[in-house]
Amino acid sequence: MTSLKDLERQEDHFQSNCDSEHSELLAEINELEAKIANDCDSKSLSDGLHHSISELHEKVHLEKKQLAAKLRDILAMRRQIDDLPCQSEINQYERRLSELYAQIQGKHRQTRKYYATYNALLEMKELMLKETSLLNSIISQFQEAFSSMDGRAKLVHSMEGIVKGSQQKLDKVQLGLEEEERVRNDIKNRYAAAVGEQKRCYSLLKAFQVECAKNERFRSQSWE
C-alpha cells in the first residue's frame, strides 16, 4: 500500500503536470486566437480544432482515471489511519491488561499457597503417624526391657536406632531448609531485578504515551 508521503509526492507531481498542461493549453489558445486574427484558412483551422479537442478528450479521460486511482489510494490510506486505535483506546487496553495480569497473579499466588498448605499438612500427617508408630514400639519393648538383660540391650539398641533415624531426618530437614533459603534469596534477587525492569518499562511507557500524543496532534493537523 502506498504510504501517505508517497501519495503527497504523487499529488504534487500531478499538480505540476496540471500546471504544465494548463500552460500548454493557454499557448494553444493563444495560437488559435492568432490564427483567427490572421484570417487563417477555415478548413485547416477547423481540422486543427477537432484534433486539439480529440487530444484534450483523451487527456481528460486519462487524467480522470489517474485521479480515480489516486482517490482510491487516499481513501484506503485514510481507512487504515482510522483503524489505528487512538490514545484513549490504548490507555483503556493497557488498564484492562493490567487488571487481567493482576487477577492472574493473585490466582497464581493463591494456588501456590493452597499447594504449600496441603504439602505441609501431608508432611505433618506422616510425621505424626511415624511418631505414633515409634511410641507404640517403645511401649511394647519397655516391659520386656526390665525382664532380662537382653531386653534392656534390645531397648537400648532400638533407642539408638531411633536417635539415628531422627538425626537423619533432622539432617534432611536442615538440607531442605537450606535449599528453601537459597530459593528465597534467588527469588529476592529476581524480584529486585523485576522491580528495576518495571521502572524501566514505566519510563518507556511514558515516552510512548508522549509520542502517541504527538502522533494524535500530527493526525489532527493533517486532517485540517
**Three cell numbers, residue 60:** 481528460
Task: Give the number of other Cβ atoms within 10 Å of residue 134's Cβ.
Answer: 14
More confident residue, 5 or 175: 175
Contacts 24+ apart (CB under 8 A), 124-128: none
pLDDT in tens, 133-182: 877 877 777 766 667 677 777 777 777 887 888 788 888 888 988 998 99
What is the C-alpha to C-alpha distance for residues 38 and 108, in angstroms, rounded to an integer? 97
pTM to 2 decimal places: 0.40
Query: pLDDT-based confidence at 104, cuts 50/70/90?
Result: very high
What number of H helices and E strands is found in the chain?
Answer: 4, 0
pLDDT in tens, 34-71: 666 665 455 555 666 667 667 777 777 787 788 788 88
More confident residue, 132 or 38: 132
> Cβ-count burial of 197 within 10 angstroms (0-12 exposed, 13-18 middle, 19+ buried)?
exposed
Sign of CA dihedral 159, 161, 162, 166: positive
CB 91 within 8 A of CB 212: no
